Amino acid sequence: MKKPQTVAKLVELGRVQLSQGFLLRDFLYSEIAAMHGLSNVPDDPDLAIAAGTRLCTDLLEPLREAFGPLQIVSGLRTAEVNALGAAKAYGPASNERSLAGHIWDKRDAAGQMGATAGIIVPAFADRFTAPDDWKRLAWWIHDHLPYSSMEFFPQRWMLHLQWHEKPLRMIYSHIPEARGYLTRPGMPGHDGDHREYWSTLIG
């Protein structure tokens, strides 16, 4: 599929079904693009669709089935939009670090594809508000889903959740009192069962 050049083609692209509950258009809105008059339409729609489909089917749908509706806070960014966001310190990482992450439509330096979305799980955020409660969701995802990386933030436990062809399996916290890695390969407790954190989440 070519990059859309008309409204009709963009509508067609936006209506591509990535999974049962998600369309591509759910991930195309960008505050950075909106404020700076940029297009956030992927340069390589086919790659964006392929990566986004895996993100949705492998990660977001199982989360939605387990916890209910999700709120999408951020999704796909074009290289142009991401670069501007990084340059102006709006929050995005550099393009090099965002390939196969928020930049869905470009492979990373190793030629791998991936996709990241920023999400809030309302049913979880409303119920669990103690300082360390984010770890409950982090370990549930770690034990149940084939994620690559998670980054947690303090606002309603928002997280950046990444699917990648070669998953890193790392969890990082931007929460001030718990900043740093919760886990990554080689750290004690990375493998095994962590049900002591999540056994009361569902059911």
Number of domains in the chain: 1
What is the CB-side half-sphere exposure of residue 201 using CA atoms within 13 A?
26
Q: Which long-range contacts (CB under 8 A, 24 or more apart) does 27-33 make?
A: 27/52, 27/72, 27/75, 27/76, 27/104, 27/117, 28/75, 28/76, 29/75, 30/74, 30/75, 30/77, 30/81, 32/77, 32/81, 32/84, 32/85, 32/90, 32/92, 33/77, 33/78, 33/81
Q: Specify the pLDDT at position 202.
A: 78
Q: Which is it for strands 170-173 and 22-23: parallel, antiparallel or unpaired?
A: unpaired
% of the chain exceeding 90 in pLDDT: 96
Mean pLDDT score, 93-113: 96
Query: Is 2 a domain residue?
Result: no
Nearest to 29 by CA among 64, 60, 71: 71
What is this structure's pTM? 0.94
Rounded CA-CA distance 11/111 in Å is 29
Q: Considering just the CA atoms, what is the radius of gyration of the chain in Å?
A: 17
Query: Is 59 a domain residue?
Result: yes
Q: Residue 118 is part of which domain span? A: 7-198
Query: Is 184 a domain residue?
Result: yes
Q: Specify the pLDDT at position 104.
A: 98
Give the pLDDT confidence of 27-81 residue by residue, as tens digits: 999 999 999 999 999 999 999 999 999 999 999 999 999 999 999 999 999 999 9
Query: Is 157 a domain residue?
Result: yes
What is the CB-side half-sphere exposure of residue 126 using CA atoms within 13 A?
8
Query: Is 145 a domain residue?
Result: yes
Query: Is 190 a domain residue?
Result: yes
Residues 6+ apart with CB under 8 A from 110: 166
pLDDT exceeds 90 at position 1: no
pLDDT exceeds 70 at position 203: no
Query: Is 203 a domain residue?
Result: no
